[in-house]
Amino acid sequence: MFEFVSIDQYHSQLREGKATCMQAVEHYLERIRSTQHLNAFVRVYDEEALEKAKLLDARRAAGQPMGSLHGVVIGIKDVIAYKDHPLTAASKILKDFTSVYSATAVERLLAEEAIIIGSLNCDEFAMGSTNENSAYGKVLNAKDESRVPGGSSGGSAVAVQSGCCMLSLGSDTGGSVRQPADFCGVIGLKPGYGRISRHGLIAYASSFDQIGILGGNIGDIALALEIMSGPDEYDSTVFQKQSEPFHSLYKSEPGRKYKIAWLSQALDHPALDPEIASSIRSLIERLKSEGHTVEPVEFELIDHIVPAYYVLTTAEASSNLSRYDGVRYGYRSGDKDDINQLYKKTRSAGFGREVKRRIMLGTFVLSAGYYDAYFTRAQKVRKLLFDKTQLIFKDFDLIFLPTAPSAAFPIGEKMEDPIAMYLADIYTVMANLVGVPAISLPLFTHSNGMPFGVQVLSNRFKELDLLRFSNQLFR
């Protein structure tokens, strides 16, 4: 019977003849079938995955060298392009659309012989925190099917949580990898802005979006990050230095002592579940006893983070989503001879409620008379947040935050209160506003039985610090 522990262990099994890629794919296809009710996958590429596994087994038998991700089974969020495969962003407005190219991140995975097993459910256009805003229906948390899995990368988190793939890709605009990872008890990494090319990632808010990785151990996350990182001629915002050898270095410096800041306003915030606060404080004391420097830092801007984030991201969404108009591709409704009616009917019927809400909010904050009052002011807050964060990183290596103010909550609990839903992002959006890497680590279990963890941030392009510290915690 096939059993997955890590990519390194899997590759050892392949080399020793104790497993085959075909066995791995068949195992995951069976898991996908048996957990179909969780609704994590919107499409499964079963025949294609089996054919790729057969080919890789033949290459290995012929003595050909193995790629870094040889036979590794990966699911990708339905906002990441995969050539000649459907790409819909879980939205009716992209119904029947097929991607004409692959995202740079996907191309790099395939070049290292990864197997893409399917596309994963998500909140429509990555807008949501519960994976209840999908044209394909809600995703269920495998730990407790009455609770949300988090969002927007809920399908990506549940696919790893339920053992349906070895790794998954999500996207993170304000916590959409880290929060579902927290709710589902898996590891979720949001690299710093520009670490992984956004070419082929459907845009929600272009200055915030980043492809992220969900998995079960730090080594696998490090390997995927190493492969997908690096310059890309199709993305001018990507970091221009070559990728670092994250996988070979994440275990180095095992005895290093870190200087860690924790934000007092965050842990003392009235929105934070007392059990989560207590667990993180206990972790802080443990780290102090192990010789790390862990100190509180005042962060008086905490309550300005969510308003600034939603002003800026909805403004960018209003611009980015204007291309979905029923003219060139996707869903179309209305009279093709009346272009205004075509636009109105297509966008009204094609977009879901939450997407329309954010488009309208973004259009409002960009409108004449309100631009300076909202958008310009939010940009100033973003600059203040960046400057404050950089001051902290002058004295500390890492910043501790909760990932979410609560563990996974019941399905439907916040759907009729968008403000409460948005405020649940209070701890994750900061990393996107200032462009730094962040990781959610599943370290604890709530009294309600649900997993939760801690979020750790490092300075820009210091993902290696995150991986090394995280590896210390998981030893």
Give the domain ranges of the chain.
7-249
H or E element: which one contains 50?
helix 46-61
> Cβ–Cβ contacts within 10 Å for residue 76, how many?
31
**From residue 361, how far is each of 131, 430, 454 by CA, in Å?**
21, 20, 31
Active-site residues, by number, are 77, 152, 176
What is the distance in angstroms between the CA of the first residue and the CA of the last residue of the chain?
27
**From residue 7, how far is each of 52, 160, 286 by CA, in Å?**
17, 14, 30
What dotted CATH number matches 7-249? 3.90.1300.10
Note the pTM of the prediction, 2 decimals.
0.97
Q: What is the pLDDT of residue 419?
A: 83
Q: What is the pLDDT of residue 422?
A: 87
Cis peptide before 102 (omega within 30 of 0): no
Burial (CB count within 10 angstroms: exposed 0-12, middle 13-18, buried 19+), residue 323: exposed
* pLDDT over 90, % of the chain: 92
224-228, 299-303, 331-335, 372-376: the lowest-pLDDT one: 331-335
- Contact in structure between 243 and 463 (CB atoms under 8 Å): no
Q: What is the pLDDT of residues 350-383, one digit of tens each?
A: 999 999 999 999 999 999 989 999 999 999 999 9
> DSSP character for 243?
P
Q: What is the pLDDT of residues 401-458, one digit of tens each?
A: 999 999 999 999 988 888 888 888 999 999 999 999 999 999 999 999 999 999 999 9
pLDDT of residue 475 exceeding 80, the answer is: no
Q: What is the pLDDT of residue 70?
A: 98
Find the mean pLDDT for residues 319-330: 92
Residue 35 to residue 142: CA distance in whole angstroms:
9
